[in-house]
Amino acid sequence: MEIVKQLVEWVVAWANSPYGPAALFVIAFAESSFFPVPPDTLLIPLGIANPSLALLFALVCTVGSVIGGMFGYWIGIKGGRPVALKLFGEDKVMFVQLMYQRYDVWAIFIAAFTPIPYKVFTIAAGVFVLDFKRFVLASIVGRGARFFLVGGAIFLFGDTIQYLIANYFEVAVSAFTLLLIGGFLVLNYVARRFAQKEKARQVVEQTPSPAQRE
């Protein structure tokens, strides 16, 4: 957890740099395919420092994230299932495959909007060859809704949020860290439970009935 917290603090520190907006784009891009820290951690302090530009920062974040998701899709296409298994493990890959079978690109929207690790779904989308145009559309809607919700709140309530962050910065960093870890833990737990049920179902299906034994 300490390493994750240090990464969050490193990302937040870019808010005090003149290269903050560029860093936001790069981090949003990287988080969609391999980097663990969500770009919200930089979007919020950048927006608070310049509330009038919060919506512009949300746009930068959305564009970077969607392009990063497209890169993740390309990784999945080129690397196939072996790369996904190496990166995420069999349980997660099986779970994401089921999500795509049941919900198609809606699974992308859910991952794009929530703290669930988006990168797992972008790479898996390439592995399972989801329709690319619909994948991009779901990513734009999900990521845009998430980041513009944050940017819009800062645009409207910047002064109040600025006061809260200034007085509770460490709490905010810790909250982001817990949220990030929580997203991974939830995905791990759900994927593991699904894998256990799926393996049990396969065992039952492969076990011959008394009639078949005769």
Model confidence pLDDT, tens digit, residues 26-53: 999 999 888 888 888 889 888 888 888 9
Kind plus residue range of the DSSP H or E element containing 160: helix 132-167
pLDDT tens profile 156-190: 887 776 666 656 556 665 666 666 666 666 666 77
Read off φ and ψ for residue 162, nearest 5 degrees.
-60, -40
CA distance 90 to 37: 23
In terms of Cα–Cα distance, which of 152, 153, 154, 146 is closest to 47?
154
On whether the pTM is more than 0.85, the answer is: no
Report DSSP state, residue 208.
P
The amino acid at 54: A
pLDDT at site 178: 65
Residues in the chain, pLDDT under 50: 209
